Structure 1
Amino acid sequence: MSEGAHLRHTEAGQPDASHTAILYLEDLNVSFDGFKAINNLTLYIDKGELRCIIGPNGAGKTTMMDIITGKTRPDSGQAWFGQTVDLLKLSEPEIANAGIGRKFQKPTVFESHSVAENLELAMHGNKSVWYSLRARLSGEQQALIDETLQTIGLTDHYHQAAGALSHGQKQWLEIGMLLVQKPYLLLVDEPVAGMTHQEMERTAELLTSLAGKHSVVVVEHDMDFVRSIAHQVTVLHQGSVLAEGTMDEVQNDQRVIEVYLGE
């Protein structure tokens, strides 16, 4: 890890990134059947940051998230969550327990259960559905569910079956299902695909509100949406970081223009 990259865990188990990054990816390489999906990738995410990752299809965005969450093991390189947690030594459940949550593009909610029950199930982790819904919530757990419903804008849908929600509302519910697990780092994959314009605006507000309390990494194709939320944008191309900066800096970068326009 780079010199000066200090992140300790506090006594409560929370990563302390007061000086620098919460996520370090350094010199990562992954090949699949001779195809180099990740090529000397180095990326740092700061505590409380909202970072957008863009890039053409095949740029390595999904593989990068697979490495962070333990789904894919790199051929070489390092991946650290803070200074003390070596992600390459942990299983997928251990990485989730360490405080990294991932939201996939397609929402996976329990459609026959109510919105509140979905949050309750997510909070209880891998225990059986029957046990989870019979276990009595503590006051603290109930408060967390209420607070999360407010954050994701679904307080009025407390008792509604998740299957009856709109596409956008299901996406927000799934973000809520991650939030009740109190992650320090959230990985969000194409959150606005298939959303109405109004839902996209609400999603922008939601993700922006999470930054600071959490570190949020958003992978997205919709450039208007990225512009509406991004302070810092990373462009991936052929498994490497091609450019990094503000949306304006990145969009005016000649290398980025060539990659996107094929010039």
Structure 2
Amino acid sequence: MTPELQEAGAAQLAAAQARLQEASSGGRDAAFGRVLHGAQPDFAHGVALYLDEITVSFDGFKALNALSLAINVGELRCIIGPNGAGKTTMMDVITGKTRPDHGTASFGSNIDLLRLRENDIAQIGIGRKFQKPTVYEQLSVFENLELALKADRRVRASIFSRLTGTQLDRIAEILQLIHLLPEAQRTAGLLSHGQKQWLEIGMLLMQDPKLLLLDEPVAGMTDEETERTAELFLSLEGQHSLVVVEHDMKFVGELTQGWKKVTVLHEGSVLAEGTLADVQSNEKVVEVYLGR
């Protein structure tokens, strides 16, 4: 080996060691948050999602103002607050759509969400459902779920792919869970609004997410559909972490069952936390959100 190659090799080794040291320090620019092949979040400490001092400004307006929030593994957390409180921006930050001006966002103890792209974040197990359902209306319910399977979707793989018995069982399991087994062959565009919401939730579940972000999931649903949705979410609790942004206090009450934590956002930060009864009796919450 020539002296030049030895020097080049030494320089590369020093650079690699420096990157490793930087990653282990856990700083904002650390490489530990980059998703490598097969990377999985570490939930050993019991926290699924941790936001710390997240600030987002748009033309001088602080949509999020030093927001700090922790969601435990398997927890179902309801988040409420008036319009403009920062709920959507918070989910945008978690899913990589918006980059904050300041703060940190961690998935488990080892993944820095702020260093990842949107598609990377989806791949590591964070699924988001928007208020308006987005399904493939020209396809059947079954075909929608089939498309959502974790699989190789390159053209050649799609042409020659065949569902395995395990995959068929998984689709049947999700159809049963979202109350759409009798509608499996029905065109998705013919479903009711509530059924389309369930189908989109089912499509997320096909990806086996570890964290689900659900934005006003029962908006526009009938009372019966709302009740069934509450049953669905409660059945997912423990297997997945769920963050439910909602205005329907009756639905929030059904999900929290009198003892689970509710977070109230106002002007981009946490105004109050506690049981639904606690926050409903909080004077600040009453003043800015629930009304006297």
* Distance across 1 between alignment mates of 2:175 and 2:279: 35
CA distance in 1, matches of 2:98, 2:152: 22
Query: Where does residue 232 of structure 1 map in the other structure?
Result: 261
Seen in structure 2, the aligned counterparts of structure 1 residues 108 and 129 have a Cα distance that, compared at 3 Å, is farther
CA distance in 2, matches of 1:126, 1:217: 29
Moved over 6 A (4+): 128-131
**What is the CA-CA distance between 1:142 and the residue it aligns to?**
1.2
2:87 corresponds to which of 48, 61, 65: 61
Partner of 1:111: 137
Q: Does 1:25 align with 2:54?
A: no
More helix by share: 2
Distance 2:59 2:190 in 1: 42
The one-letter amino acid paired with 1:141 is: Q
What runs of 5+ residues in structure 1 fail to find an aligned partner? Answer: 2-11
What residue number does 2:284 align with?
A: 255
Flag the 1:129–1:204 CA change in 2: closer, same or farther, 3 A: farther
Alignment-mate amino acid for residue 41 of structure 1: L
Scaled by the length of structure 2, the TM-score of the pair is 0.82
Instruction: Establish whether residue 94 from structure 1 lines up as the match of residue 112 from structure 2.
Output: no
1:219 aligns with 2:280: no
Superposed, 1:119-134 pairs within 5 Å as 119-124=145-150, 127=153, 132=158
CA distance in structure 2 between the aligned counterparts of 1:183 and 1:261, rounded to whole angstroms: 32
Q: 1:246 aligns with which of 271, 275, 284?
A: 275
CA contact under 8 A between 2:42 and 2:110: conserved in structure 1?
no
Are 2:106 and 1:77 equivalent residues in the alignment? Answer: no
State the AA in 1 paired with 2:60: G
Contact 1:17 1:47 in 2 (8 A): yes
> Tell me, which stretches of 5 or more residues in structure 2 are unaligned?
1-25, 27-37
Shift of 1:232: 1.4
Distance across 2 between alignment mates of 1:206 and 1:195: 14
TM-superposed deviation, 1:14: 5.1
The answer to whether the Cα contact below 8 Å between 1:26 and 1:42 also exists between their aligned partners in 2 is yes
- Superposed CA offset, 1:32-81 (max 9, x none): 00100000000000000000000000000000000000000000100000
Tell me how far 1:262 sits from its aligned partner: 6.1
Question: 121-130 or 196-205, which moves further after superposition?
Answer: 121-130
Specify the SS of the correspondent of 1:123.
coil
1:29 is displaced (CA, Å) by 0.4
Do the aligned partners of 1:26 and 1:40 also contact (CA within 8 Å) in 2?
Answer: yes
CA deviation after TM superposition for structure 1 residue 236, in Å? 0.2
Bigger strand share: 1
Alignment of structure 1 residues 117-196 onto 2, 5 Å? 117-124=143-150, 127=153, 132=158, 135-196=161-222
Deviation at 1:211, TM superposition (A): 0.7
The C-alpha deviation readout for 1:209-250, integer Å capped at 9, x for no partner, is 111000000000111111110221100000000001110011
Give the drift of 1:258.
1.1
Residue by residue over 1:168-220, the C-alpha shift from the partner in whole angstroms, topping out at 9 and shown as x without a partner, is: 01000000000000100000000010010000000000111111000000000
Identity of counterpart residues, as a percentage?
A: 64
Q: In the TM superposition, what is the alpha-carbon distance from 1:17 to its structure 2 partner?
A: 2.5
What RMSD, in angstroms, separates the aligned Cα atoms of the two structures? 2.1
Give the AA of the match of 2:120. Answer: E
Paired positions, count: 254
* CA displacement at 1:20 relative to structure 2: 2.2
